[in-house]
C-alpha cells in the first residue's frame, strides 16, 4: 500500500463523524451554508458563535434530530439511516445528548432518569452501569432523589449519566453549562473530559464558556452559517 492510501485508511479508521456540505434553511433564512464537519473517535470539539448563528441547528442535524436540506453525514463511514424509525434506533444506541435545560423527568428518581434510555431500548441490567456512572460523577448518594431535590450541578450530572448509559460513541451537548456558575461549569468540563478519556467518547459541545473553548481539542466558531477562518 502506498503512503497516500495508508493515510486514507488510517483516517477512515479514526473517523467517528464526517459531515459534508450541510445546508439548512428555515423559510427564507439560510441558516447553515455548505458546512463540513469532522470528528475523530474520542475527540473533544467545542463550537462557539453568536446567538442565532446556527449552532443548535447544526448540533441537531449532527445528532439526527433534524435533517439537512442537502449534505451527507456519515457515522463510522456509514451514512445516517433515512427512515425515522431507523434513525431513532440509531440515536438511542449510538448517540448521547445533553441540553442546557436537563429535561429530567420530574416524577422519576435520579436513578430512573439515568436508566430511561435503557428502559426505552429494552436493555437488561442497565441499573448496574447507571450506578457505575453515578459513582464516577459523584452522585451515588443522590440516586433516590427526585430532580427537584437536586442542585443544578447534580441535575446536569444526572443528565450526563443518562446520555452515557447506552455507551454511546458520540456525545452532543448544547450549552450544557449555560445555567451553571463558573466553578460548576469547570467541574462539568472536567467530567466530560474524563468521560472522553475513560470511554473514548467523541464529544461535540456548543458553549459560550471561553475556558471550555480554550481547553477543548479544537474549537470552531460559526458565523452567518459558515465556519469562521
Which of 15, 57, 166, 185 forms a contact with ligand ADP (CB under 6 A)?
57
Which of 48, 53, 113, 166 forms a contact with ligand ADP (CB under 6 A)?
53
Choice between 135 and 223, CB closer to ligand ADP: 223
Spatial distance between the Cα atoms of 7 and 11, rounded to a whole number of angstroms: 6
Choice between 100 and 140, CB closer to ligand ADP: 100
Contact stretch for ligand ADP (CB under 6 A) within 45-53, 68-76, 165-173, 197-205:
45-53
Spatial distance between the Cα atoms of 35 and 58, rounded to a whole number of angstroms: 9
Q: What residues numbered 127-156 form the site for ligand ADP, per CB under 6 A?
A: none
DSSP strand E in 91-184: where?
A: 95-99, 170-174
Cα-flanking dihedrals φ and ψ of residue 43, to 5°?
A: -90, 150
Find cell 427564507 and name the residue: 28
Counting contacts by CB under 6 A, is residue 196 touching ligand ADP? no
Cα-flanking dihedrals φ and ψ of residue 206, to 5°?
A: -90, 130
Counting contacts by CB under 5 A, is residue 56 touching Mg ion? yes
Counting contacts by CB under 6 A, is residue 26 touching ligand ADP? yes
DSSP strand E in the chain: where?
A: 15-26, 29-40, 44-48, 70-75, 78-79, 95-99, 170-174, 202-206, 218-223, 226-227
User: What's the Rg (C-alpha) of the chain?
Assistant: 18
Minimum distance, C-beta of residue 144 to Mg ion, in the bound complex (Å): 33
Counting contacts by CB under 6 A, is residue 228 touching ligand ADP? no
Minimum distance, C-beta of residue 54 to Mg ion, in the bound complex (Å): 8
Counting contacts by CB under 6 A, is residue 101 touching ligand ADP? no
What is the bridge-based pairing of β-strands 15-26 and 44-48? unpaired
Choice between 59 and 165, CB closer to Mg ion: 59
Residues touching ligand ADP, count (CB under 6 A): 11
Counting contacts by CB under 6 A, is residue 56 touching ligand ADP? yes
Amino acid at each position: 500500500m502506498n503512503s497516500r492510501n495508508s493515510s486514507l485508511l488510517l483516517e477512515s479508521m479514526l473517523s467517528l463523524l464526517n459531515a459534508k456540505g450541510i445546508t439548512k434553511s428555515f423559510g427564507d433564512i439560510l441558516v447553515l451554508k455548505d458546512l463540513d464537519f469532522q470528528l475523530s473517535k474520542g475527540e473533544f470539539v467545542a463550537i462557539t458563535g453568536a446567538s442565532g448563528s446556527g449552532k443548535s441547528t447544526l448540533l441537531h442535524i449532527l445528532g439526527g434530530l433534524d435533517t439537512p436540506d442537502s449534505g451527507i453525514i456519515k457515522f463510522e463511514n456509514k451514512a445516517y439511516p433515512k427512515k425515522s424509525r431507523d434513525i431513532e434506533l440509531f440515536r438511542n444506541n449510538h448517540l448521547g445528548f445533553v441540553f442546557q435545560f436537563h429535561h429530567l423527568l420530574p416524577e422519576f428518581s435520579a436513578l430512573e432518569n439515568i436508566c430511561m434510555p435503557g428502559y426505552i431500548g429494552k436493555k437488561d441490567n442497565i441499573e448496574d452501569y447507571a450506578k457505575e456512572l453515578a459513582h464516577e460523577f459523584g452522585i451515588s448518594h443522590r440516586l433516590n432523589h427526585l430532580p427537584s431535590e437536586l442542585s443544578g450541578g447534580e441535575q446536569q450530572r444526572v443528565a450526563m449519566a443518562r446520555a452515557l448509559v447506552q455507551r454511546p460513541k458520540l456525545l452532543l451537548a448544547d450549552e450544557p453549562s449555560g445555567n451553571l456558575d463558573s466553578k460548576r461549569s469547570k467541574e462539568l468540563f472536567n467530567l466530560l473530559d474524563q468521560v472522553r478519556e475513560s470511554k473514548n467518547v467523541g464529544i461535540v459541545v456548543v458553549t459560550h464558556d471561553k475556558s471550555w473553548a480554550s481547553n477543548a481539542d479544537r474549537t470552531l466558531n460559526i458565523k452567518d452559517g459558515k465556519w469562521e477562518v
